[in-house]
Amino acid sequence: MLREAQECMIAFIKHIAEFESVWVCIDPRDKDAKKFVLSSCKKEIKNGTLQILDVRSNDVWARDFAPLTICQNNQNIKPFKLIALPFPKPIYHKKERLPASYANFLFVNGGLLVPIYGDKKNDKKALHILQDALPHHRVIGVPAKTLIKWHGSLHCTTMQIY
């Protein structure tokens, strides 16, 4: 099963690399994964079109800022306006840092539901930034501390609803 997943990932990388640069996030502790990606893509991908970022798989930065960094460093992705949101203060449950992020918001019927975490300063700042960016939407903060105990937030909890 793992081999099939790896082959699927390599096929995906090769296809995307035909059109633009590809950035792959790999945990630096997983030497085999990095070696596998590089050796599998070496012949088909031109120099400079495959970038490997060393990030730990549970790294909050990888989830929230890697896409922003990739977009900022890719000259082909300019039609986007990138907006940096603050991080809420770290939240822990049983000594584990929880994945609190204001980016796990949800668009609903002219509104934007934004997770908030009881961090008055950063909650307010994130809501203000999003309201300025989306003046035609009503931005509403929704307490989400309980949701992140299960490693998700507003957007994650609604993904399977249709």
**pTM of the predicted structure, to 2 decimals:** 0.55
- From CA 86, how far away is CA 101, in angstroms rounded? 8
Tens of pLDDT along 3-61?
Answer: 676 677 677 777 777 766 676 767 667 777 777 777 777 666 655 566 666 665 555 55
The pLDDT assigned to 71 comes to 60
122 near 114, Cβ under 8 Å? no
Give residue 80's identity as a one-letter amino acid code.
Answer: F
> What is the CA angle 18-20-25, rounded to 5?
105
Dump strand ranges (E) for the chain: 22-26, 50-54, 92-93, 96-97, 106-108, 111-116, 138-143
pLDDT at 78 over 90: no
